[in-house]
Amino acid sequence: MEGGRPLLADAIPLFQEGIGLVLSRWSALQLAVENEWGGRDSRRKVELLCSDIFKWFTQNREPLYIDDLEMILDEAMLSLNTQVDDGSIEEVAERLIVMHEECLDRNFSSIERLRQTPLPQVAHVNQAESDDDDEEEEEVENGRDVMSDDLMVDAVQPAQSRPVNQPNPEAAAEAEDGWVQVTSRRSRGTRN
């Protein structure tokens, strides 16, 4: 895809809105933000991601390659302490590339569809089991979290809790992998 072809003035705010709409429907990203896996400034990191994506599309004079956009998305998820291996990074990148092409041609139909699609419900990882879970279960089909507009991401499984003073039996395997599970010290209550 060629870089440098500018968006028309009326398409710029719509494309910016479209970036936000796509990211707001990405379950892995929303879980990371809701659970503050990237720290207290997780929401700010997503705002910066939206800005970085917009700049990548509008200020890049080189040809635009989807691999570069996927790298931006992957690095943003890693800054939120989230590793995504479910193919959703590629889906989000493809959706953004297609939406940009449509906006260049003054076609805003995908943005309009996203506006009309309700936001997916994001479960809290530390949420206690209750009878209200029936509503959340409607959003999950066959172990997959259903996202609007056919963008699907594997459901994130919460880590099993254990007493703080007991060592984690999986710690050695995780350390060999180079990844260590870090849990929050503060207790989160159930949010309604």
> For 141, which DSSP code?
E
Q: Kindly state the average pLDDT of the residues 109-130.
A: 70
Q: Compute the mean pLDDT over every residue in the chain, rounded to the nearest whole number.
A: 74
Structural domain spans, the chain: 11-122+145-177
CA distance 111 to 20: 10
Q: Tell which residue, 32, 81, 40, has the closest CA to residue 179.
A: 81
CA distance 37 to 33: 7
Residue keyed to tokens 């809790």: 161
Both tokens of 1, joined, read 């895809």
Query: 3-class DSSP state for residue 136?
Result: helix
CB 110 within 8 A of CB 102: yes
Query: 3-class DSSP state for residue 192?
Result: coil
User: pTM for the full model?
Assistant: 0.64
> For 108, which DSSP code?
-
User: Per-residue pLDDT tens for 29-82?
Assistant: 999 999 999 999 999 999 999 999 999 999 988 889 999 999 999 999 999 999
Q: Residues of the chain with pLDDT > 70: what percent?
A: 60
